[in-house]
A and B are shown apart, each in its own frame.
Chain A
Amino acid sequence: MGEMYVSGSAKHDVRIVDFDLQFACPANQSLLRGMERVAARAIPVGCRNGGCGVCKIEVLSGSYEKGRMSRACVSAEEEENGVALACKVFPQGDLTVRVLGKMGRKLAPAHTPAAR
Chain B
Amino acid sequence: MGMSGVLRPGHAAIKVLDLDEAVHFYTNVLGMLETGRDSFGRVYFKAWDERDHNSLVLRQSDRAGLDFFGFKVRDEASLDKLESNLRAWGISTERVAAGEMLATGERVRFESPSGHLLELYAEKKHVGTPMGNRNPDPWPQGLKGIAPIRMDHSFLAGGDVAKTEKLFTEVLDFYVTERILLDDGVTSAAVFLSCSTKSHDIAFGLHPEPGRLHHVSYRLESWEQVLRAADIMSMNKVSIDIAPTRHGVTRGATVYAFDPSGNRFETFSGGYETYPDAEPIEWTFEEMGSAVFFHERNVDPLFFETTT
Contacts and interface: CB of A to CB of B under 8 A. Distances in A.
Interface of A: 2-3, 44-52, 54, 68, 70-73, 102-103, 105-113, 115-116
Contacts of B208: 103, 106-107
Interface in B61-115: 62-65
Could you say which of B17, B285, B306 has the most chain A C-beta atoms within 10 Å of its C-beta? B306
B259 interface: yes
B63 A46 contact: no
Contact of A51 (B241, B262, B298, B305): B262
B301 A108 contact: yes
A116 B289 contact: yes
B299 interface: yes
Contacts of A52: 64, 258, 262, 306-308
Given A46-B262, A48-B239, A70-B64, A103 B286 contact: no
Interface residues of B, number: 39
Nearest to A114: B298
Given A44-B302, A116-B289, A72 B18 contact: no
14 contacts: A46-B302, A47-B258, A48-B258, A51-B17, A51-B65, A71-B62, A72-B63, A72-B65, A105-B302, A106-B208, A107-B301, A112-B288, A112-B299, A116-B298
Contact of A103 (B17, B63, B183, B209): B209
- Closest A-B pairs by Cβ, 3 of them: A51-B262, A108-B301, A47-B262
Contacts of B62: 70-71
Nearest to A108: B301
Contacts of A44: 302, 305
B264 interface: yes
Given A3-B237, A106-B208, A50 B305 contact: no
Given A51-B263, A70-B261, A111 B304 contact: yes
B239 A54 contact: no
Interface in B24-72: 62-65
Interface string B273-304: 00000000000011111000000011111101
A47 B299 CA distance: 16
